Amino acid sequence: MARGDRAAFEELYRRTSPWLAVRLRRRCVDEQIVAEVMQETYLAVWRAAGAFAGAAVGGTATGWLWTIAARRLVDAFRRRAHHAEPPPAAAAPDAAPAAEEEALAATVGGDVGDALRCLAPELRQVLQAMVLDGLSVRETAVLLGLPEGTVKTRARRARIAMRRALA
């Protein structure tokens, strides 16, 4: 892709777009915003493919892609906020749970599911990014806009809370 190979870009899109769309829809129920963010994300990836440092800095292509998408989603929310309307995710608390939430509930039920639901939101966010999304500490820090040390601390606190809840 860094050399302008359209086939490589198409392959990346084919492999990652369903996953990325699910991740974005989990955070935003407005399909228009999700479509806009998807388009902006892949355009940014195409333009900056040569800048991806990859494993040399402890990152992955999917982590890089998600970081770009998450930033674009925040930008979209900020643009919408200037129009004095809250993002649909904030205005629609009765939205149906995402498919990923239902799948997680089906596989992580019982005591583990209860323990996850009892975690403080900031701990659950870190655990979700690192475990469910498979992001590294650095990628999680970028995604959540936190220092790496804070991510490590929250991950440790989440593990301790889960152990206590499951003991």
pTM of this structure: 0.51
Degrees to nearest 5, angle at CA 18 with 42 and 142 = 55
Span 22-41, mean pLDDT?
90
Structure tokens at 108: 């992580």
Contact between 88 and 28 (Cβ < 8 Å): yes
Q: How far is CA 88 from CA 36, 64, 101, 105, 142, in A?
A: 14, 26, 18, 24, 24
- Check whether 76 has a pLDDT greater than 50: yes
Higher-pLDDT residue of 15, 95: 15
Kindly report, residue by residue over 102-126, the tens digit of the pLDDT. Answer: 544 554 556 666 777 778 888 888 8
pLDDT, position 118: 79
pLDDT, position 152: 94
pLDDT band for position 53 (cuts 50, 70, 90): low
Q: What percentage of the chain reaches a pLDDT higher than 70?
A: 74
Higher-pLDDT residue of 39, 60: 39
pLDDT, position 164: 85
- Check whether 66 has a pLDDT greater than 80: yes
Q: Which residues contact 129 (CB under 8 A, 6 or more apart)?
A: 135, 139, 140, 143, 144
